[in-house]
Structure 1
Amino acid sequence: MGNTVRQSKNTRTRMDSLSKALSCAKEADNRKALDIVLLDVSKITTLADYFLICSGRSSRQVQGIAEAVQARLRELGMRPLGVEGEREGHWVLLDYGDVIMHIFYQPVRELYDLESLWSEGAAVPLDEHLVGPGGG
C-alpha cells in the first residue's frame, strides 16, 4: 500500500517536471529559439528529469531567451538553483533542479553536441506544445 502512495507521488512530481520543462520550451519558442529539443533523462541520470536544449542566432538572443525563461518561471513561483554563462551568452545553463535548460549560441551547440552525449534520453515530442514558425 505504501508503494502505491509513493508511485502516485512520483507520478505527480514527474508531471510537475514535465510542465516546468514545457513552460521553458514555450518561452524559448516565443523568443524564436532554434531547434528546441526536450530529453527525458530521468532513467539514465539523477542530475535531472529533463534536459531542454535550444539555440539562438547570436549571443544577445541567447541571453534574451535565458532572461525570458527566468522571468516566466519566476511568474510561476520558481527560481533557478543556478545560472551559468549568462554574461557571455555562448552557453547559458539554467538549473531548475528537475529541469536543466541549455541555451546555446548555435556554433557552440554544434561543438558540444549534447544531444549525442545524452542520446539514451527519450526525446519528448514538442510539436503540439509549440507554435513554431508560421503558427499562431
Structure 2
Amino acid sequence: MSETLTERRMVKTHLPSALERALLCARVADQNKASNILVLDMRRLTPLYDFMVLVTGQSRRQLHALVEEIDAAMRSVGDQRIGLEGYETGKWIIEDYGDVVVHIFDPPTREYYGLEHLWADAPQVPWQIANGQA
C-alpha cells in the first residue's frame, strides 16, 4: 500500500527545515562541480513550495550524477523525492521534494528559460555563507 500525501507530510515533520535541505542541495551540487548555484526563497511568491534550487551542469552525465548525489543526500536526512522530470533528455531535470524543488540545467537550457529572471522577486539565499564558505 502506498503512502498518502498526509502520511508523507507527517514524516517530513521530523526532517531538517526546508531551508536546511535547500542549502544541503546547493552544497552537494557545489561538491559535484555544478556551477551558477542559486537558492531562491519562494515562500512569499508561491504556495507550491518554499525553496527553489537552480544549478548548472556541463554535460548530460554530470546532470545525471547531480540528480543521484542530491537525492542520496536528501534521503540521508530522511527526505523522499516525490517527483522527477526530464531525466531522460538530460537538459533540464527537476527533482521535487515537496517544499524544496531542484532544477538542474545544461547551460543553453538554463540561459534560454532564465528562471532566475522569471522569479527575480524571490530573495536569493546566500548559501555559501550559510554553509561556512566565504
Q: TM-score range by the shorter chain?
A: 0.7 to 0.9
Corresponding residue of 1:85? 86
Q: CA deviation at 1:127?
A: 2.2
Corresponding residue of 1:127? 128
Equivalenced residue count is 120
Task: Give the secondary-structure state (helix, strand or coil) at the position aligned to 1:73.
Answer: helix
Structure 2: distance between partners of 1:76 and 1:112: 31
Runs of 4+ in 1 over 4 A off after TM superposition: none
Which structure's CA Rg is the greater one?
1
User: Normalised by the size of structure 2, how large is the TM-score?
Assistant: 0.84
Corresponding residue of 2:101? 100
Instruction: Give the AA of the match of 2:44.
Output: K
Corresponding residue of 2:36? 35
Instruction: Give the AA of the match of 1:110.
Output: E
Q: Where do 5+ consecutive residues of structure 1 fail to align?
A: 1-11
Q: CA deviation at 1:123?
A: 0.6
Identical-pair percentage:
38
Instruction: Give the AA of the match of 1:85.
Output: G
Structure 2: distance between partners of 1:130 and 1:104: 25
Task: Give the secondary-structure state (helix, strand or coil) at the position aligned to 2:17.
Answer: helix
Conserved? CA contact 1:26–1:130, under 8 Å: no
Q: CA deviation at 1:96?
A: 0.6
Corresponding residue of 2:58? 57
Q: CA deviation at 1:130?
A: 6.8
Conserved? CA contact 1:38–1:126, under 8 Å: yes
Instruction: Give the AA of the match of 1:82.
Output: G
User: Normalised by the size of structure 1, how large is the TM-score?
Assistant: 0.82
Task: Give the secondary-structure state (helix, strand or coil) at the position aligned to 1:127.
Answer: helix
Q: CA deviation at 1:17?
A: 0.6
Q: CA deviation at 1:90?
A: 0.6
Corresponding residue of 1:109? 110
Corresponding residue of 2:45? 44
Corresponding residue of 2:77? 76
Describe the shift of the 1:87–1:130 C-alpha distance in structure 2 as closer, same or farther (beyond 3 A). farther
RMSD, matched Cα: 1.9
